[in-house]
Structure 1
Amino acid sequence: MISVVIITLNEEKRIGRLLEDLSNQTYRDFEVVVVDSNSEDKTCEVARGFGKAFQNLIVHRMDGRGTSLGRNTGAELATHERLLFLDADVRLAPDFLAKAMHQFKKKPLEVAGVYMNGDELALGYRLGYGLFNAGLLATSFFFPTAVGACIFSTKHAHQRIGGFDEKIVLCEDCDYVRRASQTFKFRMLPLTFSFDPRRLEQEGFFSMGLTYFKANVRRFFFGEMRNNEMDYKFGHYEDQTKSTAEQQGGAA
């Protein structure tokens, strides 16, 4: 059994796609917990519209905002031991959960990461994803990192390490798996997920990759960033889109 925790912020255009993917999973023994960071659009209404698609769907709207806050809140609301943290713009193949549960039967892992799938993207992106995934595999043995958009955990491990650090804005996901690996075995699962390329399109693939590379090098030598050493805001992709639309409207 799995509790799928999805964090959202102004994701009315994307949350439905992920929930549709989850409704089509061949593995059915799971619940969905949507934790919304006080969205200004109809994210919660869209999510609640999938009530009949799942045996158990929780849509919780927080007063505050934050990636780690949302994931920690979702873990508290979850009723199953196995947790899967997802971002709202993730896309999953129909057999994703089934393959994941099969892996956990073979490998008793408390916490695990998942590789990114860029098969439908341009060649340059696919090559970049390949390098990034190679880095995830290599570092998993000495300085674990992971993509927060898709991380498996358990309530036991989550509670033992104190959840996601809400003071960290950038690389809170990497900090989570690093701390978890100090007590529990961490590995990357031979699975992939996709996500909306808006992140790459708005920041630029190489710019985004360089940001995370510098962040992890800094983490390796100086520890976690809790003083906004590298400015990064939750939900800023949506904010940029809104800003552009507002500018265009003002210029009209």
Structure 2
Amino acid sequence: MFSLIVCTVDRSDQLERLFASLKVQRYTDFEVILVDQNLDDRLVGLVEGYSPFFTIRHIRSERGISRARNNGMAIATGTYICFPDDDCWYEPDTLEVANRLFAANSALSIITGRTLDAVGQSSVSPTGDEKLAITRRNYLKCGNSNSIFVRHAALGVIGGFDEDLGVGASSPFQSGEEADFLLRAIAGGLSLMYFPTLIVHHDQVTSEMGPKQIERARKYGRGFGALMRKQRFPFPYFLYRLTRPFGSWLIAALRSDRAAAQYKRAWLTGIIEGYATWPRWRKS
């Protein structure tokens, strides 16, 4: 059985889209653990409406994506666990494909797939057309949390998500939790593989560059910088990861594209801040 850990806050229409896609799954042996971070009962009606079609275990959690996922995993009963966001949705055969891949690859502890928008274009993170063994060199190109499927038994090696990383954390580091999860699996000697045939859907991330997006870029940058420090990537690699946002900022500045320049500078500044402050934060 699959346990789908769905963490949600401030959304209902998009969550219903996910539930509608689960209702038509061809592989039906799954449970949904809905980790509700809302302060009200806005989701009760939705849960009641879909409970006749699949098992929904509705629990409450404080805010923070990593904390919420850990609370969901603590009660998960499935052989396999996955982490669909409340604003993604599945193909009718997503769980069927995941089950088949695990059955055909018994040595794999984690499989990941592609996240595409409604018209089949990559969204959220870039991925390729060829299956790959996931390593410390290519982990950023092998899917995101929506498309991570892990054997329950492997959690004894990996542990849960780092609650100091990710959206809603009480720390300044508002990203990096899914990459950290994969990297700890690799460090634990587990085998991970990316499969482009495993599809999850998510809308394109907004390309707007207003004040909210700029502030978010800085917060997400801090998470990535913290990840670099936590996972002890060599300092030259850290510098390499700065070259792209620095180049993008410089080009935007030369073009007098103020919004783009502010956005890229926020991302660049965030990475540096996260890398510099992670050790102090962990010791505090």
Q: TM-score, normalised by structure 1?
A: 0.73
CA RMSD of aligned residues (A): 3.6
CA distance 1:8–1:22, shift in 2 (3 Å): same
Unaligned runs of at least 5 residues, structure 2 = 167-174, 232-269, 276-284
Q: Aligned partners of 2:160, 2:130: CA distance in 1, in Å? A: 21
Answer yes or no: is 1:34 the counterpart of 2:27. Answer: no
Q: In the alignment, is the contact (CA less than 8 A) between 2:222 and 2:273 conserved in 1?
A: no
The residue aligned with 1:193 is 200
Instruction: Summarize the alignment of residues 1-252 of structure 1 with structure 2, pairs less than 5 Å apart.
Output: 1-40=1-40, 42-54=42-54, 56-62=55-61, 64-108=62-106, 109-118=108-117, 120=119, 126=121, 129=123, 132-134=126-128, 140-143=134-137, 144-145=139-140, 146-169=143-166, 170-183=175-188, 184-190=190-196, 191-197=198-204, 199-202=205-208, 218=225, 221-223=228-230, 229=274
Q: Aligned partners of 1:6, 1:131: CA distance in 2, in Å? A: 19
CA distance 1:107–1:9, shift in 2 (3 Å): same
Question: 3-state DSSP class of the match of 1:31?
Answer: strand
Q: Aligned partners of 1:150, 1:41: CA distance in 2, in Å? A: 28
Q: Which amino acid aligns with 2:4?
A: V
Q: 1:229 Cα deviation (Å)?
A: 2.4
Q: 1:74-98: CA deviations, max 9, x gaps? A: 1111111211111011111111111
Unaligned runs of at least 5 residues, structure 1 = 231-252
Q: TM-score, normalised by structure 2?
A: 0.66
* Count of residues in correspondence between the two structures: 220
Q: 1:130-170: CA deviations, max 9, x gaps? A: 98113997782334244112311122222322210001121
Relative CO higher for 1 or 2, CA cutoff 8 Å, sep ≥ 6? Answer: 1
CA distance 1:220–1:66, shift in 2 (3 Å): closer
